[in-house]
Amino acid sequence: MKVVLPDSSELELPAGATGLDAAHAIGPKLAEQAILLRSNGHVQDLRLPLEDGQRIQILTTRDTHDPDALYVLRHSAAHLLAEAVRRLYPGTKIAIGPPIENGFYYDFDFPEPIGEDALERIEEEIRKELAEGRSWDRREVSAEEAKRFFAEQGEDYKVELVGTADGPISFYSQGDFTDLCRGPHLQDSGPIKAIKLTGLAGAYWRGDEKNTQLTRIYGTAFFSQADLDTYLEQVEEARRRDHRRLGVQLDLFHLADNAPGMPFWHPHGMVIWNTLEDLRRRENARRGYVEVKTPLLYDIETYVTSGHYENYEENMFFVQGHEDEKPLALKPMNCPGHMLLFGSRLRSYRDLPLRYAESSTLHRDERGGTLHGLLRVKHITQDDAHVFVTEEHIQPEIDAMIEFARDLYAMFDVTPRAELSTRPEKRLGTDAQWDHAEAALEQALKRHEMEYVISPGEGTFYGPKIDLHMTDALRRSWQMGTIQLDYQMPMRFGLTYMGADNEEHHPVVIHRALLGSLERFIGILVEHYGGAFPVWLAPVQVRVVPVGEAHREGVREVVETLRAAGIRAELDERDETVGKRIRDAEVQKISYVIVYGDRESLDSLAVRERGGAQSTKSLDELRDELLATLSAWQAGADRSSPPEHSSGEVQPTGDEVQ
């Protein structure tokens, strides 16, 4: 048989050859360093047989920053953790231990609880395993053999996993430890040069709070100590930038048990919120979107029609009214309301494209254990839009959305990259419709020469999507916006428009959110900027600190002049020392601080900029400098315009905007 290498050359191998056999055929050095096989976007254990014509790439210990290489390294590290725990704590039952982003974890059922102080002991045991050396052997077994093996060891969780396993059942063994695992794994433990256990947490077996609570041990591993040291520095910096901590320090928001997963926004936080809302409205208006507002509650039949009830019921909040009234549900998405809005009157092809925009409160019943500050909440506000189009409008509208995203993210100094998510197993519509929709999105990404990856099976139940990602100041990846192409929902709601041929046609709808959840977006921005927001977004742009009582009258004119120009200025008249008030302004990351004493006047102000620079400016100079900065960002997207096929001057009628 033959396999195809990355340079498109062919390698001839005997039938049944494995990835490791292929590495040996290329060269002994490659075979020694090989850790994983990548084929057609998937990873494969080196021990597994290859297929005739299969395209392969062999990853090695040189691929130290490749996500798949780190994946297999950390997977094997998780098994070393399980072996160490079994050696140190006899009677401990093991559950699951997968690699995750930036590390791995393993869940255990300890005979007695352990604390954080146990991590150092376990870590030392893993180092002993590494010093001794470990290699992984793989073998396939029957379900009966696997159940018998784990039952004899008292491993109840493994027995249960065997009972629900799909496909071949395989064991991986290292030392005297054997685990139920699909793989892949390293050949041996040699590539694991640095490992660190990072924390403990509680985790319910299979994520069900009715089941036993297990102890989850988190860790990470790298190909070098230097890479681990860099990662730990990034973790510490992330801790300093944690939006939950900075949210309190900067007086932006707080979270409370009174309303789990629903933030309380403080005045300074609302400045950021409203600035983003103003930005959203301004940029939407420039591109021909019209603002709408739809109800928060709908009857169950609406969600049955949209498909949300079948596919999203467990994440919805339901409300029972009076006895003689039917139950309602809080909307988790805006799309059903926009479908009803479109269907509220007869439509012509001349009305299209019709671009509805709405920033509305949505409710999603996320489990308490998954909530995380502003990044995962129950109560979200999305910069939503639904664009109803004809087939001819699809490509220009998606082009316009991609350009919109680039312009918008540039205001935050980030460049988007894309993930094309294709048809999931549970979906609406025909394969032909999905083929067409996926091709339309991929063609748009190629036209714009946008970096993208394909995520098979990650689309929504009604259509494929482009998810837009950014990389923050700590080089972490975040999903931001989404563009989704949907043929299904307009048909399910019976939406039509009268075409130029005097026949009725179903519109296509493009779901679009660019900032995504405003709560989540603000949480990301807090961490991206470390709380030091650009001037245009800063809750307080200028703080004025009078030195003494005699200077308070003079500084009021400074504050009033700046406020009259539209600059967010505030006066700090607290009975604290000047040094304390300056220090507080630094902690709160105020952009400009004016210290006003005997030597200051409207023509000569002592100005401290965030970061330490100090200068003397007149009030007029400072005001003009700030206004120039604000004008620059405000003009940032002035070049934007609606797609050429539309004037953008959609005139909403009374029943379209309520």
The full DSSP string for 69-90 is: HHHHHHHHHHHHHHHHHHHHST
Q: Are the CB atoms for 151 and 205 separated by under 8 Å?
A: no
257: burial class by Cβ within 10 Å (0-12, 13-18, 19+)?
exposed
Among 468-472, 486-490, 522-526, the range of highest mean pLDDT: 522-526
Asked whether residue 257 carries a pLDDT value surpassing 70, the answer given is yes
Report pLDDT digits (tens) over 315-328: 889 998 888 889 99
Report pLDDT digits (tens) over 326-372: 999 999 999 999 999 999 999 999 999 999 999 999 998 887 777 88
Tell me what pLDDT residue 642 has.
40
Q: Are the CB atoms for 362 and 382 separated by under 8 Å?
A: yes
Q: How far is CA 430 from the centre of its chain?
A: 29
Q: How far is CA 193 from the centre of its chain?
A: 30
Identify the CATH number of the domain defined by range 253-529.
Answer: 3.30.930.10
- Hey, what's the torsion of the CAs at 117, 120, 123, 124, to 10 degrees? -130
Q: Are the CB atoms for 464 and 441 separated by under 8 Å?
A: yes
Look at 553 and 76; give whichever has higher pLDDT.
76
Q: What is the pLDDT averaged over residues 503-507?
A: 96
Asked whether residue 34 carries a pLDDT value surpassing 70, the answer given is yes
Rg (CA), the chain: 29
Asked whether residue 581 carries a pLDDT value surpassing 80, the answer given is yes
Can you tell me the distance from the alpha carbon of 267 to that of 274, in angstroms, rounded to the nearest whole number?
10
Element (H, E) at 270: helix 267-286
Can you tell me the distance from the alpha carbon of 600 to that of 602, in angstroms, rounded to the nearest whole number?
7
3-class SS string, 434-474 = HHHHHHHHHHHHHHCCCCEEEECCCCECCECEEEEEEECCC
- Record: fold of 2-60: Ubiquitin-like (UB roll) (3.10.20)
Domain residue extents for the chain: 2-60, 67-235, 253-529, 542-634
Classify 623 as helix, strand or coil: helix
DSSP letter string, 554-604 = HHHHHHHHHHHTT--EEE---SS-HHHHHHHHHHTT-SEEEEE-TT-BTTB
Asked whether residue 145 carries a pLDDT value surpassing 70, the answer given is yes
Asked whether residue 196 carries a pLDDT value surpassing 60, the answer given is yes
* Catalytic positions, written as ranges: 335, 364, 382, 384, 386, 465, 511
The residue whose two tokens read 């059942």 is 169
CATH architecture of 67-235: 2-Layer Sandwich (3.30)
Q: What is the pLDDT averaged over residues 445-456?
A: 89
Residue 179 phi, psi (nearest 5): -130, 150
Q: Kindly indicate the confidence band of residue 27, based on its pLDDT and cuts at 50, 70 and 90.
A: very high
Can you tell me the distance from the alpha carbon of 146 to that of 181, in angstroms, rounded to the nearest whole number?
11
Q: Kindly indicate the confidence band of residue 635, based on its pLDDT and cuts at 50, 70 and 90.
A: low
Q: What is the pLDDT averaged over residues 310-319?
A: 86
Q: How far is CA 149 from the centre of its chain?
A: 40
| Nearest C-alpha neighbor of 386 from the set 306, 456, 479 | 306
Q: Is the peptide bond before 424 cis (omega within 30 degrees of 0)?
A: no
Asked whether residue 148 carries a pLDDT value surpassing 50, the answer given is yes
Going through 22-128 in order, the beta strands assigned E by DSSP cover: 34-39, 42-44, 57-60, 93-94, 99-100, 103-109
Can you tell me the distance from the alpha carbon of 103 to that of 236, in angstroms, rounded to the nearest whole number?
16
Q: Kindly indicate the confidence band of residue 314, based on its pLDDT and cuts at 50, 70 and 90.
A: confident
Q: Kindly indicate the confidence band of residue 636, based on its pLDDT and cuts at 50, 70 and 90.
A: low
Asked whether residue 645 carries a pLDDT value surpassing 70, the answer given is no
Q: What mean pLDDT value characterizes the chain?
A: 91
Look at 431 and 193; give whichever has higher pLDDT.
193
Tell me what pLDDT residue 655 has.
33
Identify the CATH number of the domain defined by range 542-634.
Answer: 3.40.50.800
Angle at 30 between CA 24 and CA 34, to 5 degrees: 95
Can you tell me the distance from the alpha carbon of 508 to that of 289, in angstroms, rounded to the nearest whole number?
17
Report pLDDT digits (tens) over 363-411: 988 877 778 899 999 999 999 999 999 999 999 999 999 999 999 998 8
Q: How many angstroms separate the Cα of 409 from the Cα of each of 46, 109, 396, 485?
A: 41, 45, 20, 21
Report pLDDT digits (tens) over 528-548: 999 999 999 999 999 999 998
Asked whether residue 584 carries a pLDDT value surpassing 80, the answer given is yes
Can you tell me the distance from the alpha carbon of 495 to that of 489, in angstroms, rounded to the nearest whole number?
9
Q: What is the pLDDT averaged over residues 98-114?
A: 95
Tell me what pLDDT residue 208 has.
83
Can you tell me the distance from the alpha carbon of 573 to that of 587, in angstroms, rounded to the nearest whole number?
17
Asked whether residue 465 carries a pLDDT value surpassing 70, the answer given is yes
Classify 328 as helix, strand or coil: strand
Report pLDDT digits (tens) over 113-124: 999 999 999 999
Can you tell me the distance from the alpha carbon of 379 to that of 517, in angstroms, rounded to the nearest whole number?
10
Tell me what pLDDT residue 471 has.
87
The residue whose two tokens read 């909040």 is 317
Listed in sequence order, the residues at least 6 apart from 322 whose beta carbon sits closer than 8 Å to its beta carbon are none
Element (H, E) at 516: strand 508-517
Q: What is the pLDDT averaged over residues 281-300?
A: 95
Can you tell me the distance from the alpha carbon of 113 to that of 212, in angstroms, rounded to the nearest whole number?
13
Tell me what pLDDT residue 643 has.
44
Q: Which of 13-17, 447-451, 608-612, 631-635 has the lowest mean pLDDT?
A: 631-635
Q: Quick one: how many helices (H) and strands (E) in the chain?
A: 19, 33
Tell me what pLDDT residue 466 has.
92
Classify 48 as helix, strand or coil: coil
